[in-house]
A and B are shown apart, each in its own frame.
Chain A
Amino acid sequence: SQTIHQWPATLVQPVGSPLSLECTVEGTSNPNLYWYRQAAGRGLQLLFYSVGIGQISSEVPQNLSASRPQDRQFILSSKKLLLSDSGFYLCAWSVLTGLKNTEAFFGQGTRLTVV
């Protein structure tokens, strides 16, 4: 069966420090991968998505970046964190199978606090 792993679960980082959040998927090939951010009490904002290795689409310009070095690995990075980067980060995957039910499956999330 397919599983998605996201770590770490919580992270406290100082302003200006770098960030690396990793997400891996097991049990499927060539998934679409997504990074979302959820500010406290808010909805999910799509940050990046990827339809294949090395293919990254950015939805919102910011100081974050994403990379997909392997088929089932998706990394969210920042060179210098801002206070506004605090939030709950969710990785998700899905596959495209025509018009059939193709929901997104989410990781457990990373709660990032920038201090």
Chain B
Amino acid sequence: EADIYQTPRYLVIGTGKKITLECSQTMGHDKMYWYQQDPGMELHLIHYSYGVNSTEKGDLSSESTVSRIRTEHFPLTLESARPSHTSQYLCASSEWGQVYNEQFFGPGTRLTVL
């Protein structure tokens, strides 16, 4: 089992609230990622990080922001949640420099914005 954790697992919140989705891994991986997945749809990368103080936007535009102050921690923040942000958010991590970019996923946070 991968040692990557996400909290909360489920979140129902009203429009306009600020939320932070937590992601932590204990594998010492340098690379971390955030994906968004709607039901029945493919995963889309919204943010990634190569290490501490490194953050980049992914292929899918997102109003969320991320930070990477510690290797093991990669939180995602929405300053003002809207119903269009309702989705599942999956955090993943991988080692640096592997030939094959195998990623390990956390259990996900299912976000519902009312």
A and B: interacting chains? no
**Measuring CB to CB, which residues of chain A are less than 8 angstroms from any residue of chain B?**
none
